Amino acid sequence: MRTFLTVVGTLIAIIAAFLIYIYSGIYNIGATVPHNSITRWIISKTVDNSVKYHAQFINALDISDSSLVSIGFTEYTHSCIGCHGAPGTKRPEKAPQMYPPPPPLVQAATDWKPSELYWIIKNGIKMTGMPEFNSAKSDRQIWAIVAFVKKMTTMTPEQFNAFKTEEDKNANHNKKKEHLRYHN
């Protein structure tokens, strides 16, 4: 009986201390001070396991399709590069001011499976600056981004620039076509 009361008493004391800590406002929620190691552990394990759990129900598309990769490049430069950068580009100006800062995906995307990347991009991540793209992009566009991001993890800056040159060429070609159609 004594042991039982000691266990219950200790649990009540821990919960009370936890609540006092939360209600006191002592925890610094400012973006200028990093989380302590316990909070960091809780958040990173929660994110990791949540993404893995939810992504296991997704049937991954074949992302080796090269037309998907080139759509993904356009989508990536439009929607992601401003926070996550790309091979050979400068670190986005606002990235270090965010907490958590958006990581360069060249490194951060290597360990995620395609279905996990798809889930992250579609749903975003709560309480970070990572937006959801479910409301802005079609499934095919999201898979295209996954296809491009996976390729990007092994890209040199020159290979990344080659995509850009190709896209500029296509954009000019389409403009010319448009011009001819309009004037003939």
Write out the DSSP string of 49-69: HHHHHHHTT-----TT-HHHH
In the list 131, 132, 153, 161, the residue contacting ligand HEC (rule: CB under 6 A) is 131
Binding mask 95-114 for ligand HEC (x = CB under 6 A): ---x-x-xx-x--xx--x--
- CA-closest candidate to residue 117, choices 180, 182, 41, 61: 61
Q: Tell whether residue 61 is a contact of ligand HEC (CB under 6 A).
A: no
Q: Residue 34 or 103: which CB sits closer to ligand HEC?
A: 103
CB of 174 to ligand HEC, least distance (A): 23
Cα–chain center distance at 47: 11
- Contact between residue 86 and residue 76 where contact means Cβ atoms under 8 Å apart: yes
Which residues, at least 6 apart from 140, have a Cβ–Cβ distance to it below 8 Å? 68, 71
Size of the site for ligand HEC (CB under 6 A): 24
Site of interaction with ligand HEC (CB under 6 A) = 79-80, 82-84, 98, 100, 102-103, 105, 108-109, 112, 117, 120-121, 125, 128-131, 133, 145, 149
